[in-house]
Copies of this chain bind each other. A is one copy, B any other.
Amino acid sequence: MYRDPVQSLQPAQHNSIATTMAMPAATRPLRVGMIGIGTVGAGTFRVLARNQATIAGRAGRGIEVVVVAARNLARAAGVVGTGVALTNDPMQVATHPEVDVVVEAAGGTGPAREWLLAAMAAGKHVVTANKALLAVHGNELFAAARQHGVALAYEGAVAVSIPIIKALREGLTANRIEWVAGIINGTTNFILSKMRDEGLGFAEALAQAQALGYAEADPAFDIEGVDAAHKITLLAANAFGMPVRFADAQVEGITALQGLDVACAEQLGYRIKLLGVARKRPDGVELRVQPALVPATHLLAHVNGSMNGILVKGDAAGVTMYYGAGAGSEQTASAVIADLVDVARLDGTNAAQRVPHLGFHAHAVDEHLAVLPRAAVHTRHYLRVPVHAPQDIEAVGAWLAAQQVPMAQLALAADKALPPGSGAQVLVLTDAVAQATVDLAVHALASHRAVAGPVASLRVEMLEA
């Protein structure tokens, strides 16, 4: 039920619908209902209006927002003007008889799930950039979309400006995907870039990110790696033909990262990035987010500030990389509207048949593909061992060798890397080794007589490019 009958009966709108109702489905405008008109919703509305002619020229038909649900109708009217019906009730949009496709731009997981289920049950296509929703409720939602033969499109859920879902789901279909890895959270990449460029600690860099609008007042989802884990979960499903397995992902953020390690990594020729990694192994799938060292010469090391960069390794294509803004109003709108254009181009085709929601048709999805436990993940590692004196490097090296930790490099942190009073630090780069072995060694090192403080341990990712 509309709360604003005057706007909902706005004449221009109704004329336009009356005209278009008589046109064949393929040429009349696609009618959009939006739930939420905040940053993403307003950006979508603005870009749709500004690039109307270009978008229609590409889509073959117009795309028109006919109804918007918002909490604050006065503010919403300020964004969408008088040509669009407004309501306080998202369910009105979800089931609106004049709507072909519902854009969910409200966020959150509980109510959003119900809106999308209702919209799909009513035969509407749905578009969302809500990665939390899809990571948590994706299996249920995608099953509903399949059942109702509608699109559930979500390009904006991962690395908004970059059409990475399309690349995986349609562009790289020839390939068995071996791994996907990348920088998929702009907030933490901004913080890590600040820590490196300006020698800041984590707390200072976070405060700057918040002051500049790159981090939210409650930054927990970003800095604890949860947002990146939502995204790598969706990428893994599309890459490997597996269900959405967010609950099994290993998630580590950057809150415990020290500026000292950023500096020591630099000395060794590496940079620290928060990486999402999904890798197919013979015995399962790695699905994980953690701060990791990447070589300073690697392309990922040059993805700075709030930008995102994603690498995909396919058996035929080799490594391809995708780079762009990971957040922003119009950047997200770019993805949401691309999804709308895809829907506009469906032309009556069963959406789930054309491109399966997670890249693979249901019969080809491996329901039993296991996520490997943390202890089983093999990578190279970086260790920083505080010691009492520089000559303790020998004892540390000998002890790690005895613990079967394969060492590629053993060095002392240079003075210039160290804040005053840090004491001597032994730096270790290992060869590939199971996390379990590293965990044991780090635990045991803590009680070694040469060791003067907590040992830092980070993965080193040697990705092809």
**A319 interface residue (CB < 8 Å to B):** yes
Copies of this protein, total: 2
Q: Which one of B59, B174, B319, B359 contacts A173 once the chains associate, using CB atoms below 8 Å?
A: B59
Q: Are A171 and B166 in contact (CB under 8 A)?
A: yes
A347-377 Cβ-contact flags toward B at 8 Å (1 or 0):
1111001111001110111000000000000
A310-344 Cβ-contact flags toward B at 8 Å (1 or 0):
00001111111111110010110111111001100
Q: Which one of B338, B364, B465 contacts A172 once the chains associate, using CB atoms below 8 Å?
A: B338
Given A166-B171, A347-B354, decide whether A54 and B176 contact each other with a Cβ distance below 8 A: yes
Q: Which one of B334, B346, B356, B465 contacts A317 once the chains associate, using CB atoms below 8 Å?
A: B334
Q: Which one of B58, B317, B350 contacts A347 once the chains associate, using CB atoms below 8 Å?
A: B350
Stretch at the interface among A155-163, A190-198, A451-459: A155-163
* Docked complex: A164-184 residues within 8 A CB-CB of B: 166-167, 169-176
- 29 example contacts (A-B, Cβ-Cβ < 8 A) are as follows A47-B174, A51-B175, A56-B364, A57-B363, A57-B364, A58-B173, A58-B359, A59-B173, A162-B317, A163-B167, A163-B170, A167-B171, A170-B338, A170-B341, A171-B338, A174-B333, A174-B337, A299-B302, A314-B334, A316-B334, A317-B324, A317-B330, A317-B331, A317-B334, A318-B324, A319-B325, A320-B322, A321-B324, A322-B322
Number of residues on chain A facing chain B (CB within 8 A): 71
Q: Are A55 and B174 in contact (CB under 8 A)?
A: yes
A48 to chain B: closest residue by CB: B174
Q: Are A324 and B316 in contact (CB under 8 A)?
A: no
Which A residues fall within an 8 A CB radius of B? 26, 43, 47-48, 50-51, 53-60, 155, 161-163, 166-167, 169-176, 241, 299, 302, 314-325, 328, 330-331, 333-338, 341-342, 345-350, 353-356, 359-361, 363-365, 465
